[in-house]
Amino acid sequence: MTSPVRRKLEQLVAQSPIVDEQIPDKWSAFREIELIDFPLTFSFRHSFGKVSRFFIELENKRLMGTCCPCCDSIWMPPRVICPEDRKVTNWIELPGHGTLEAFSRSAYSLGSDSGTESLVLGYIKLRGARTAMLQQLRNVSDGDNLAIGMPLKVRWADGQVDHPMELFWFEPDL
Ligand SMILES: [Zn+2]
């Protein structure tokens, strides 16, 4: 029979997980389940705010961190205020070379490729930076050849991407 509800997928009765028949099922009147298709689509308009220059300069193949005028700490990802001195920082370009601080493999991505590709993420400390940045690692054969402390270099995307963070990734610097 066709349901008057277009998005209704299924109607079923959930089984009680209690196997002992001596114990009454207090939820017996509530085990009828309706399943509906409920697509959710969200679109956000997001501002990168004060750290926007980091994302803008990625289009120019430049990695921009920030430097504290007081303690000379270089923050990457950029911080607009030094957490040590509460001073407003200055932009500074960092080299596209660094070392691997930590990494993780994921069977699925969260990116704009529909989540079908496996993903290797790493924390990379760029040369001169005090902090490490999270970014995708590629050409690492599912992460089998990764080791903490190994040298990495930045690679830049050639074509158009959906998100600024897809403009670059890191690979082993052999
Ligand atoms: Zn500082």
Can you point out the beta strands (E) in 95-160?
97-106, 119-126, 133-137, 151-156
Residue 71 CA to ligand 1 center (angstroms) comes to 4
**Taking residues 2-6, what's their average pLDDT?**
90
pLDDT digits 0-9 by tens, 21-30: 899 999 999 9
Domains in the chain: boundaries: 49-172
Query: Could you tell me the distance, in angstroms and rounded to a whole number, from the CA of residue 56 to the centre of ligand 1?
Result: 24
Between the alpha carbon of residue 19 and those of residues 24, 25, 77, the distances in Å are 10, 10, 54
The rounded distance, in Å, linking the Cα atoms of 103 and 100 is 7
Residue 149 CB contacts under 8 Å (≥ 6 apart), including other chains: 99, 100
Q: Which residues surround ligand 1, an ion (CB under 5 A)?
A: 68, 70-71, 73, 82, 84-85
Q: For residue 133, how far is its CA from the centre of ligand 1 (angstroms)?
A: 18
Residue that wins the pLDDT comparison between 107 and 137: 137
Helix (H, G, I), strand (E, B), or coil: what is residue 151? strand
Output the CA 61–ligand 1 centroid distance in Å: 27
- Residue 70 CA to ligand 1 center (angstroms) comes to 5
Give the per-residue pLDDT at 145.
Answer: 81
Q: What is the overall mean pLDDT for the chain?
A: 92
What order of strands is seen across the sheet that includes strand 63-67?
A: 74-75, 63-67, 90-94
pLDDT tens for each residue of 117-153: 678 999 999 999 999 999 999 988 766 789 999 999 9
Rounded to the nearest whole angstrom, what is the distance from the C-alpha of residue 69 to the centroid of ligand 1? Answer: 7
Residue 112 pLDDT exceeds 60: no
How far is C-alpha 19 from the chain's CA centre?
Answer: 42
Rounded to the nearest whole angstrom, what is the distance from the C-alpha of residue 80 to the centroid of ligand 1?
Answer: 11
Give SS3 for 129. Answer: coil
Q: What are 91-105's pLDDT values in tens digits?
A: 999 999 999 999 998
Q: Scanning the structure block, which residue is given the tokens 């501002």?
A: 47
Span from the CA of 75 to the centroid of ligand 1 (angstroms): 10
Ligand 1: centre distance to CA 106 (Å): 35
For 107, other C-beta atoms within 10 Å of its C-beta total 9
DSSP string, 46-79: ---GGGHHHHHHHTTT-EEEEE-TTT--EESS--
Instruction: Check: CB of residue 76 under 8 Å from CB of residue 133.
Output: yes
CA of 54 to the centre of ligand 1 (A): 19
Region 50-57: what's the mean pLDDT? 98
